[in-house]
Structure 1
Amino acid sequence: MTSASGPGPRAAVLAGLGAYVPPRILTNDELCGRRPIGDAWIRERIGAAGRRVADGEATVDLAVRAGRHALTAAGAVAADAVVLVTISPDRICPAGAPEVAARLGLGNVPAFDVASGCSGFLYGLGVASSMIAAGTFDRVLLIASDVFTAFLDPQDWLMRAIFGDGAGAVVLRAGPAGGAGTFGPFDLGSDGAQADLLEVPGGGARARKRLPTTPDAEPAPYFRMDGPAVRKQAVVGMCDSMTRAVERAGWTLADVDVVVAHQANQRILDGLAAELGLAPGKVLSHIEAYGNTAAASVPVLLAQAAAAGTLRPGLRVALTAYGAGLAWGSTTLVWPEVRAVADDG
């Protein structure tokens, strides 16, 4: 197999990034109203002062905007395939990716969805990178988009304090392996025995087949999670996964300049830094302004950090995420010369 630019193995190279978050800001004060627990409590335990909430926009709408920004940043008008990562699809059927491709004017390209919880962007990177390395496609548009607030109980103020909406996208192109912008070996894994720790129990085939005679007993169509159990496992899981990915890349943890982790909450990010012995500033965070945007959190933060100049060419970057499934993933890259368009609504 030869690369698109010469002899040798092919690899997926980061060619452009885009992000879009909706303009509506839900502040802690607005969320809590007259509750005795308010802004200070949320900031201390979650790290968020506000979050973006889609108003009149759905998952595909956000994905189209982020995807268009990524294509613009890459100087591209076409892609050979579209992969949409989401855990908040607009519809159970069909997948949203074909609609995204059509609305971006990409024609009848292959397009499909990936659902792997908050680690979905890492899974999508693994899939898209493999398709390029195998020679199946030369350019892939990968988008992670979640309007996860649509899956939250309106009365559950704690879940509403954690999550926000957003979309992030990358364009990957074929290039020679080993250069800047190529993704290192991936570490991906799952533990389905703990699937009920984070779930939306209602709405799927299992709930429909067991539809009870009393509506009050029907499984709720809202997200629920065992927060304490997930928090402890997320820190350990991301530490272990990232360590394996770093070692497979031939690096040590001391070689890592920047960590972009799933933005679950600030305590988890602080725990990750402490467990790995990293200076807190090495682990990027935008939780204060955006909260947890589910599968979109890593690419949104990547695009924002690249547009702000925080991610500079030559930096060694580690990516890691952990979420529902349970599922986790990590990889590495040396940051390339690349453009990013971050749309803050």
Structure 2
Amino acid sequence: MTAIDFHGVYPAMCTPFEDDDERSIDFETLRRDARRLEEAGVDGLVPVGSTGESATLTHDEHVEVVEAVIDAVDDVPVVAGTGSNNTREALSLSQRAADAGADALLLISPYYNKPEQQGLVDHFTAIADEVDLPQIVYNVPSRTGRNIEPDTAVELAGHENIAAYKAASGDMGQISEIIERTRDEEFAVLSGDDGMTLPMLSVGATGCISVAANVEPERTCAMVGAALADDFERARALHHELGPLFRALFVETNPIPVKEAMRIRGYGPGYVRSPLTRLSEEHTEHLRNVLDVLENEDLEDEYAEIER
């Protein structure tokens, strides 16, 4: 297994779709976007996660997206989202992503089934035992209906192939405890919630898997880099500059707003696959205003006006 230093910014990539009845994958835009993000200085890319609408991709499409991103970039690791609520399915996706050349895996905890904590341990361990790649355990109870508790995360951290934990629970006490209890392990804790990234970095997280970095990769990298260098004054300033964007990207279900932001910025189409829908007109106007402000130099006064 090749070790990956999970520090810095890893955009959770969108999957762009064509304007056709099937919402076919727009591979040309996908490759261009991967190159844009790499050139912006991100530390890795995460295709086919929740932001990549993995739930509506076929297994073949899933692997094709991973392959396209790998082919597009030169020197950043590609972390493939391969989670499922079916252990055999997650293992199959993980093996196929490994065969395609992925550098690491992101595994959401099983959703809908709501397994007990021992079931979570068994699920992640079954995949880690079979696939020799660094793996990130992803906790997002709002989507899965089940929390990965600290004892479970700490137990999983002892597996040689489980290298990191993506935290999107919103529970800073729990996140801090996991960081505290895994300090002696080769184990990273990453933010999965843009608004929580700076607070998490302040207690020892090492980076983020970010939605906002699709739209503002340079600023996100600057914020995380400043925090990792202990320049929290600079990191706080950037956090507050980005705050309105963090909020605007979650006014409706992710990735609806970020896809609209990508469209506004000219990075890709805003199409989503059913049952998701396009961003409402009201929220689109506010998002456009937030993006306009980010392109201006005098940020502080403009943000205050938008927030009012």
**Does TM, normalized by the shorter one, top 0.5?**
no
Question: Which structure features the higher share of strand residues?
Answer: 1
TM-score for both structures, normalised by structure 2:
0.30
Structure with more relative contact order (C-alpha pairs < 8 Å, separation 6 or more): 1
TM-score for both structures, normalised by structure 1:
0.28
Question: Which structure features the higher share of helix residues?
Answer: 2
